[in-house]
Structure 1
Amino acid sequence: MRQKKIKHVNLDLMNSLGVVTDIKEISFDNNKDVYLEIGSGKGNFITTLAKDNPDNLYIAIEKNISVCYRIVEKRDLYDLSNLIIILGDSEDILEYFTDNTVKKIYLNFSDPWPKARHHKRRLTYPTYLNNYKKILKNDGEIQFRTDHIDLFNDSVEYLNSFFEEVEIDRNHVINQYFTEYEEKKSKIGNIYQCRFKVGR
């Protein structure tokens, strides 16, 4: 879905609002469990999690600057001190995190890239999964949610090559942690979710 650009939002503003804009390793409290959402959209999912679980640390990565600004608005609305926001790309994930630091990764409603020649751009493609496995802790987990059945089936196959299956849910019922996109799509069709854990 194409997002409308917010005219006054630029890198200087995002920096002043405490958003990470440089591609570099981020620092955080190693005593807290770290939960990472890649492609956070407007941030409803990650900010609700952060609000309900103040003892954990949450990190949102979003590459669209206008969309990322919406996460900042929610962070400030809820006064979240346990949320780090990164304006960046998933391709640079290893630049932000060292190995064995993330407890759980969330991938919610990422672009399905349906054409075969574009499959390598999917956030669940093996190239990305290899990087996720590096930053996940030994007991870490990855959760993927989508409304696109072909992407889901392919992703389950990809994930099975790197992780151990925990859950396959082909009729996920929306709960208190949902994205803006999911709220709309759940009313007209199935939501698919799977969870996998590090174990190989």
Structure 2
Amino acid sequence: MRVRKKPWAASYIQEHQEYIVLEPKNYLGKWQSRFAQEQPLHVEIGTGKGQFIIEMARQHPEVNFIGIELQESVIATALRTFLEKPTPNLQFVLTDGGDVDEFFNQHEIEKIYLNFSDPWPKSRHAKRRLTSPGFLKSYQAVLQEDGSIEFKTDNRGLFEYSLISFNNYGMNYEYVSLDLHNSPEAITNVETEYEQKFSPKGPIYKLVAKFSSK
């Protein structure tokens, strides 16, 4: 999806670097220094305009959250929304989330969220899907031994691909829903902007999985 460039985004980000990291490799092994106190670390890859990660941070002050987004104009919008009512347990990172094993230490993260990732529907682009084996290898390196991945999508093809990908990688499923919004978990579900807009058009799929501890 093409994103319209916001002329104010770059300067806004520069003015608020206490809440956004531009060189994540500088924080390898030092991410807790970005927060008021050391707490379990949860990371969303592809945070978009921030609705999900901001609300999660507000609901869970006992967790430190990081929202990763590649597009400058999009993350600037998330940052601006967050600064309307900031909390000390959320940081943003402007970078490609596919490289998490390059700027997080091994077993540093408790949970990774993948929300409505690009489905890359063409078979030749399968390696670009954030649930493909190459990405799973990166996630496994940075997740704690009992850490988990939470994945939501409205794309049935991507969901089916992800189920197979996780299974083939030897992961264990903790939760699978073919219609999240009509399940008991809907009560506590925190929506993304995309989810809020498109859920009336069809079911939302969700899975939670962990890597095998063998």
TM-score by length of 2: 0.88
Partner of 1:197 in structure 2? 210
Q: Is the 8 A contact 2:99 2:138 kept in 1?
A: no
Q: What are the superposed Cα offsets for residues 10-32 of structure 1, whole Å, 9 maximum, x if unpaired? A: 2x542331211114142233841
**Superposition misfits of 4+ residues, deviation over 4 angstroms:** none
Tell me how far apart the structure 1 counterparts of residues 126 and 211 of structure 2 sit (CA, whole Å).
23
Q: What are the superposed Cα offsets for residues 135-182 of structure 1, whole Å, 9 maximum, x if unpaired? A: 000110001100000100010111121421111100011555110000
Q: How does 1:135-150 map to 2 (within 5 A)?
A: 135-150=142-157
Q: CA RMSD in A?
A: 1.5
Partner of 1:2 in structure 2? 2
Query: Identity of counterpart residues, as a percentage?
Result: 35
Q: What are the superposed Cα offsets for residues 170-198 of structure 1, whole Å, 9 maximum, x if unpaired? A: 00115551100000111110110001013
Pair 1:23–1:35, CA change in 2 (3 A): closer
Partner of 1:158 in structure 2? 165
Which runs of 5 or more structure 2 residues have no equivalent in the other structure? Answer: none
Tell me how far apart the structure 2 counterparts of residues 23 and 97 of structure 1 sit (CA, whole Å).
8
Q: Is the 8 A contact 1:41 1:68 kept in 2?
A: yes
Partner of 1:167 in structure 2? 175
Pair 1:49–1:31, CA change in 2 (3 A): same
**Which of residues 83, 103, 112 is equivalent to 2:90?**
83
Q: Is the 8 A contact 2:12 2:76 kept in 1?
A: no
TM-score by length of 1: 0.94
Q: How does 1:15-26 map to 2 (within 5 A)?
A: 15-18=14-17, 19-26=20-27
The answer to whether 1:104 aligns with 2:111 is yes
Structure with more of its chain in helix, by fraction? 2
Q: Is the 8 A contact 1:129 1:162 kept in 2?
A: no
Q: Is the 8 A contact 1:108 1:144 kept in 2?
A: yes
Aligned residues: 199
Tell me how far apart the structure 2 counterparts of residues 25 and 97 of structure 1 sit (CA, whole Å).
10
The answer to whether 1:183 aligns with 2:196 is yes
Tell me how far apart the structure 2 counterparts of residues 23 and 56 of structure 1 sit (CA, whole Å).
20
Q: What are the superposed Cα offsets for residues 27-81 of structure 1, whole Å, 9 maximum, x if unpaired? A: 2338411010000000100000001111210000000000001111122112121
Q: Is the 8 A contact 1:51 1:78 kept in 2?
A: no
